[in-house]
Amino acid sequence: MDLYEIRGSRLDVIAEETEYQELNRDMASPLKKSPGVKDRHDDMFGNGRIESDINSSRNQLQEKVAEMENFAGHLEEIFLTVEENFGRREQHLEHHYTDVLQTISQRYDERAARLEDEKKRKLEALYTQLLACGHALDASKELIEEAKEVYRSQDKRVFLKTVVPTLKRIEEFAKEEMDLTLATNLDFETPLADLSDVKSMMDSINIVPAPSAPVINPQMANSATQTSLRVCWSLFSDDTVEFYELYYRLVLQNAPLDSTTAPQVRKAKVKETHCTVKELLPGAQYELWVTATNTTGISPASEKALYMTVPSPPVIKQRQCCSCPEAALIRWESGNPDPVDSYTVELTELKGSDGNEKGVTESVVAVPTCQCLIQLQAGHCYLISVRAVNIGGPSDRSKEICISTSGTFFYLLEETAHPCLSISEDGFTIFYGDEELPISAMALDDDNFTRCVAVLGDLIPVRARHYWEVEVDDRTEFRIGVAYEDTERNSYLGGNNTSWCMRHILTTSRHKYEFLHSGQSPDLRITVNPVRIGLALDYDWGTLSFFNVDLEQHLHTFQCQFQRYVQPCFGLDSPGALTIHNGIEAPKYAFIEHP
Q: Give me the residues that bind another protein (CB under 8 A), please.
A: 510, 522-528, 548, 551-556, 588-589, 592, 595
Residue 502: CB minimum distance to another protein, A: 12
Taking each helix axis as running N to C, give the angle between helix 42-152 and helix 156-175, from 0 to 180 degrees, rounded to the nearest 10. Answer: 150
Instruction: Select 318 or 557, whichever has its Cβ closest to another protein.
Output: 557
By beta-carbon proximity to another protein, the closer residue of 427 and 587 is 587
Nearer to another protein, 136 or 526 (CB): 526
User: What is the smallest separation between the CB atom of 549 and another protein, expressed in angstroms?
Assistant: 12
Choose between 90 and 474: whose C-beta lies nearer to another protein.
Answer: 474
Contacts of 176 (CB under 8 A, 6+ apart): none
What residues have CB less than 8 Å from 294, skipping those under 6 apart? 208, 210, 211, 239, 240, 241, 242
The least CB distance from residue 442 to another protein, in Å, is 40
Q: Based on CB atoms, which residue is closest to another protein, 112 or 524?
A: 524
Smallest separation, CB 350 to another protein (Å)? 32
**Whose Cβ is closer to another protein: residue 432's or residue 547's?**
547
Query: 35 or 595: whose CB is closer to another protein?
Result: 595
Report, in Å, the least distance between residue 557 CB and another protein.
Answer: 9
Neighbouring residues of 425: CB distance < 8 A, sequence distance ≥ 6: none
Closest distance of CB 524 from another protein, Å: 5
- Taking the complex as a whole, how short is the minimal distance between the CB of residue 527 and another protein, in angstroms? 4
Q: d(Cα 264, Cα 249) in Å, to the nearest integer?
A: 6
CB of 546 to another protein, least distance (A): 10
Q: Which is nearer to another protein, 352 or 595 (CB)?
A: 595
Q: How far apart are CA 22 and CA 24, in angstroms?
A: 6
Closest to another protein by CB, 53 vs 552, is 552
Looking at beta carbons only, is 116 or 552 nearer to another protein? 552
Separation CA 269–CA 297 (nearest Å): 15
Nearer to another protein, 309 or 545 (CB): 545
Residue 522 CB neighbours (<10 A): 10
b/e map of 136-154 (b: 16 or more CB within 10 Å)? eeeeeeeeeeebeebeeee
Q: How far is the CB of 568 from another protein (least distance, A)?
A: 23
Residues with Cβ within 8 Å of 165's Cβ and at least 6 positions away in sequence, in order, are none
Q: How far is the CB of 48 from another protein (least distance, A)?
A: 32
Residue 62 or 520 with smaller CB distance to another protein: 520
Closest CA to 378 of 468, 465, 469: 465
CA angle 60, 10, 339 (to 5 degrees): 60
Q: Give me the torsion for CA of 496, 497, 498, 501, rounded to 10°.
A: 70
Q: Quick check: 398 and 416 in contact, CB under 8 A?
A: no
To another protein, the closest distance from the beta carbon of 380 in angstroms equals 27
Answer yes or no: are the C-beta atoms of 346 and 387 closer than 8 Å.
Answer: yes
The SS3 of residue 506 is: strand
Q: Which is nearer to another protein, 205 or 526 (CB)?
A: 526
CA distance 401 to 385: 6
| Shortest spacing between CB 569 and another protein, in angstroms | 23
Instruction: Kindly give, in sequence order, each residue whose CB lies less than 8 Å from that of residue 569, ignoring residues fewer than 6 positions away.
Output: 454, 455, 456, 457, 479, 480, 481, 482, 483, 487, 493, 499, 501
Q: How many Å apart are CA 572 and CA 455, to the nearest integer?
A: 9
Is residue 96 within a helix (H) or strand (E), and if so which, with residue range?
helix 42-152
For another protein, the closer CB: 38 or 594: 594
Taking the C-alpha atoms of residue 500 and residue 496, their distance in angstroms, rounded to an integer, is 8
What is the gyration radius of the CA atoms in the chain, in angstroms?
52
Least Å from the CB of residue 474 to another protein: 12
Query: Coil, helix or strand for 289?
Result: strand
590: left (phi over 0), alpha (psi -120 to 50) or beta: alpha
User: Are 331 and 319 within 8 A, CB to CB?
Assistant: no
Q: Which is nearer to another protein, 484 or 515 (CB)?
A: 515
Q: Shortest gap between Cβ of 584 and another protein (angstroms)?
A: 19
562 φ/ψ angles, rounded to the nearest 5 degrees:
-70, 125
Residue type at 121?
R
What DSSP line would sit under 345-399, residue for residue?
EEEEEEESTTS-EEEEEEEEEEE-SSEEEEE--TT-EEEEEEEEEETTEE-PPPP
Question: Least separation, in Å, of the C-beta of 510 and another protein?
Answer: 8
